[in-house]
Amino acid sequence: MMIKLGHFFFRYRNGLFPLAFAFALLVDQPAFPLGRHDLDTAFDLAGAAVAFLGLALRALTVGYEYIIRGGRNGKVFAETLVQGGVFAHCRNPLYLGNILIAVGLALMSQSTAFYLIFIPFILFAYASIVAAEEAYLLGKFGAEYEDYCRRVNRWWPRWAGFSRSIEGMRFNWNRVIVKEYSTTLWVIALLPAMEVWSDYRILGESELPPAPYLLAAVLAWLGLYLTVRTLKIKGYVRG
């Protein structure tokens, strides 16, 4: 059952995850942690730290050894069994990074809907996707994959020996920019947006920034996004 669901989530994840996020926003009922306004900043800082930890893990993974496992025709697919770089210490570092980002956004939202709907959905979806991928990889790589699973944890990274794992490797900043700019910029936009949204829902319109500031922020973000995207499309930055 998990494997079948995993194939479904894998195929439609780019649409389902934003829909789950939007649904949580629609039904959210934010409140200050434990009813204390003084804990608001602590939760915001914790959320931002966790989200950026997720981004950093993704960047570290992509920078050292990129894994071509984005699927083919909406189905799980892998050309090779990547075992180097961060993948020598965690079998699913990119998914773990996504989960950390989701948890960070939930902490920023200070909303029960995000804690009880969005995060459980994300965890279940990724657990299902991993089950589907593991079944595929076992079928394709057999004993080699079984040995890899015995050596490397599914989720929790074991960092001992990381310096040896990247010995002789060059960190590819261009690839990080090309592959991660969209995720990074969306997280950078969503973190303050979640803070503004939660304060607005709790305290009212008085907490909204002035409209010119909001417009300037949106235009600056859009300009940066389009600049990086154009550099990628034109081939000035190659992964």
Calpha distance 113→110 (Å, rounded): 9
CB 111, CB 28: distance < 8 Å? yes
Residue 9 has pLDDT above 60, yes or no: yes
Q: pLDDT tens, 32-72?
A: 776 677 777 888 899 999 999 999 999 999 999 877 656 66
**Least confident interval from 67-81, 122-136, 148-162:** 67-81
DSSP assignment letter at 178? H
Could you write out the three-class secondary structure of 43-93?
HHHHHHHHHHHHHHHHHHHHHHCCCCCCCECCECCCCCCCCCHHHHCCCCH
Q: pLDDT tens, 89-127?
A: 999 999 999 999 999 999 988 888 888 889 999 999 999
Can you read off the two tokens belonging to residue 236?
A: 């000035």
* Mean pLDDT, rounded, for 150-179: 92
> 30 forms bridges with which residues in the sheet?
111
Taking only Cα atoms into account, the Rg of the chain, rounded to an integer number of angstroms, comes to 20
* Mean pLDDT, rounded, for 160-173: 90
CA terminus-to-terminus distance, the chain: 37
Q: Higher-confidence residue: 141 or 110?
A: 141
Helix (H) or strand (E) holding 15: helix 2-27
Residue 239 has pLDDT above 70, yes or no: no
CATH architecture of 2-170: Up-down Bundle (1.20)
